[in-house]
A and B are shown apart, each in its own frame.
Chain A
Amino acid sequence: MSIPVPASVADTGRLLGEQAYIADHGLSVAVFLALSLRRPLLVEGEAGVGKTEIAKALAGALGRKLIRLQCYEGLDVAAAAYEWNHLRQILELRLAESAGEPLSRAALTADIFAPRFLIKRPLLQALEPQPEGAPVLLIDEIDRADAPFEAFLLELLSEFQMTVPELGMLRAAVPPIVILTSNRTREVHDALKRRCLYHWLGYPDAERETQILLRRTPAASEQLARQIVDYVQGLRTRGLFKPPGIAETLDWAQAILALGRHALSDDVLTDTLGVLLKYQEDVAAVRDSLGEDLSSVPAKPKSWSR
């Protein structure tokens, strides 16, 4: 079920669109280039703008396997790339001893460090050939890993190869499609950035956010979607501590529908504010302005019905 890599920017956008991922033009170009130049793509942006979803949509669109590596502080080679199954190795040694086989030391070493004792973690899996074509490797929140791990990625991302001392160099026959994401909790090192194409993913405009909402939440009417998007877009201009991302918009729409409501109003907003805003100051600031004229809250209250 492998699908060939898109041949043009428009095709890329269309393929992502089929996976209910509405990409803007800049992102389509970035993804298209990452595919045709076979380069990793580093996507940065605020939380909840759909960075991780790109990789999922891409894997779905191309019918490839998605291999995900979630980064965290202290992530090391054993958790990210490979690990020897030491317990089984020791067991093998003891078995050889008890059987009393006169094995040479070299033979024993070769036997112990055989691929069957190797536990493959995401990065190594991504180098292996897959029946449906090169996999999509998602290295999520690279900024959470520490600098030594970033340095480890350099060889992998430029040569698509990895060295396991006991086995030698392992190289991908077909390079995986690599998407890295970062929330910018710290600056990713230049050496890593240089190996990647770069895209900054911002908040979408109202038109595109409405499209996304309608695609992802088919139960929402177009009128409700426009109300929600107008309100959220207004919130983003208010200087909140954490403006809501697209993920919050979608959650909010689902929350409103789950309550059986089909239009925005003061009480719907009061009940569901926690879905949209995750900081007490922000909730308080918005709630304070509720008692006033509600339509003064969003910047563009054009489709607000009271």
Chain B
Amino acid sequence: MSGGASDDRPAVPARGLVSFARALRAGGVRLGSAALLDACAALAAVGPDRRMDVRAALRTTLVRDPGDLVLFELLFDSFYAHGAGDATGLPAGGQVLAQAPSNVAPPAAKRRLSDSLSSRRTNRAIEAVQLVETNAGGMPSRVERFRLKDFEQMSAAEIAAAQALIRVLGRAQAQRRSRRSHSGESRGHNARSLDLRRMLRRRDLDTPRYRTETLQPRDCVLLVDISGSMSLYSRLFLHLAHALARCPGRVETFVFATRLSYITRALRIAEPDRAIAAASRAAPDWDGGTRLGACLAEFNRAWSRRVLGAGARVILLSDGLERDGIELLEPEVARLARAAYQLVWINPLLRSEAYEPLAAGAQVLARHADQLRSAHNIASLAELAQLLN
């Protein structure tokens, strides 16, 4: 494979490595010093003569996540644009990068790289590069480029409600059979076989022990509608998601309005307000219109195989108001319902027994969802928690 003329030039070996790692960290790549030592060893092994070798060696030692690849490629191009010298011993990532001319990553290359990977990470990569360019040429800062949702402080009543939720939902984990077994005395129907290892260890062959089956929490996927029509509820739902993320078992959370954003990592922050602020930064489309079909299509294509593997339950928090037509929505909802263990649609509009889904999108959801629940107050959420249990 030919890497182009520029890839055959000598590149900087270990000298600028620390600054380069700092720049990667500034872009959000989690990187320990062990990885840096690996990178040094890798550079020594491939030798510093060929730029494409250096690039691949650094990539295979410093990047552990495909989502970070775009950032890596862009930073590498900026960083090692001038060959030796330039990248040595400069302090912060942004300033180092500001030394690189902004034309090193031509727009077409950026776009190509961006298109090849998912949106959130791409944003981060582009942000990092924008940060560089901002420092270089005084462009608007990245804070202004995204329309961030600024959550006000929660009221006391809301906090109480959220805490009630956390207590309820902490117990609301559905379970499924695990393929792991444990040792027990029971001879019941769930005993799989004699546990000879345990019996031998106990030096007691006369008291039988059995391998018995265990249960484990069922995976859960939350899809939270954050479009304008849901703005009354979305904050409460994110608190719910945050509470669920702290429960045992795997919980993956997505928000959507006009596009789908993955916010599981943001919700891992322990402190709720900070976690939700981080989640709001991860999604650029707060209070936008609803493109339910397109967002579910993206979920089905990009995520369902990754998060629905072990019989996960999907909880869709939405009012079912779709801006686009239902031609796209119907097959995507049907696919989602088939792939999930159970599709639970939680609709805050469902306030009374007399609610009939009139909007076309809501009718589609009602047709395919396994369960339909309301969620406009704490009582209905407690009911929901019982369902999930």
Complex CA gap A146/B65 in Å reads 19
> B56 contacts A30, CB within 8 Å?
yes
Complex CA gap A170/B307 in Å reads 37
> B335 contacts A30, CB within 8 Å?
no
Complex CA gap A193/B66 in Å reads 12
Which residues of chain A are near B200, meaning CB under 8 Å? 84, 86, 89-90, 112
> A185 contacts B300, CB within 8 Å?
no
Complex CA gap A80/B118 in Å reads 35
Which of A86, A199, A281 is in CB contact (< 8 Å) with B60?
A199
How many interface residues does B have (CB within 8 Å)?
42
> B331 contacts A281, CB within 8 Å?
yes
Whether B42 is near chain A, meaning CB under 8 Å from some CB there, is: yes
Chain A 147-184: CB-based contact to B (< 8 A → 1; otherwise 0): 01000000000000000000000000000000000011
Closest to B334 in A: A281
Whether B178 is near chain A, meaning CB under 8 Å from some CB there, is: yes
Q: If the complex has contacts A25-B52, A32-B46, A89-B200, are A37 and B180 also in contact, measured as CB distance less than 8 A?
A: no
Complex CA gap A90/B250 in Å reads 41
Whether B63 is near chain A, meaning CB under 8 Å from some CB there, is: yes
Closest to A34 in B: B60
Whether B30 is near chain A, meaning CB under 8 Å from some CB there, is: yes
Q: If the complex has contacts A36-B45, A190-B30, are A25 and B60 also in contact, measured as CB distance less than 8 A?
A: no
Q: If the complex has contacts A33-B57, A33-B60, A199-B60, are A185 and B309 also in contact, measured as CB distance less than 8 A?
A: yes
Whether B188 is near chain A, meaning CB under 8 Å from some CB there, is: no
Which residues of chain A are near B63, meaning CB under 8 Å? 198, 200
Q: If the complex has contacts A200-B66, A241-B300, are A33 and B1 also in contact, measured as CB distance less than 8 A?
A: no
> B56 contacts A25, CB within 8 Å?
yes
What's the nearest-Cβ distance from chain B to residue A114, in Å?
13
> B1 contacts A208, CB within 8 Å?
yes
Complex CA gap A72/B309 in Å reads 12
> B64 contacts A33, CB within 8 Å?
no
What's the nearest-Cβ distance from chain A to residue B275, in Å?
18
What's the nearest-Cβ distance from chain B to residue A235, in Å?
14
Range of interface residues on chain A?
35 or more
Complex CA gap A72/B180 in Å reads 11
In the complex, which residues 66-86 of chain A have their Cβ closer than 8 Å to any Cβ of chain B?
A: 72-74, 76, 78, 83-84, 86
Complex CA gap A78/B310 in Å reads 23
Which of B59, B64, B178, B197 is in CB contact (< 8 Å) with A26?
B59
> B179 contacts A74, CB within 8 Å?
yes
Which residues of chain A are near B359, meaning CB under 8 Å? none
Whether B35 is near chain A, meaning CB under 8 Å from some CB there, is: yes
> A241 contacts B60, CB within 8 Å?
no
Whether A39 is near chain B, meaning CB under 8 Å from some CB there, is: yes
> A37 contacts B301, CB within 8 Å?
no
Whether A44 is near chain B, meaning CB under 8 Å from some CB there, is: yes
Closest to A196 in B: B64
Q: If the complex has contacts A89-B200, A186-B306, A200-B66, are A76 and B180 also in contact, measured as CB distance less than 8 A?
A: yes
Closest to A93 in B: B205
> A194 contacts B35, CB within 8 Å?
yes
Which residues of chain A are near B60, meaning CB under 8 Å? 26, 29-30, 33, 197-199
Q: Which positions in A face B, CB cutoff 8 Å?
A: 9, 24-26, 28-30, 32-33, 36-37, 39, 42, 44, 72-74, 76, 78, 83-84, 86-87, 89-90, 93, 112, 146, 148, 183-186, 190, 193-194, 197-200, 208, 239, 241, 281
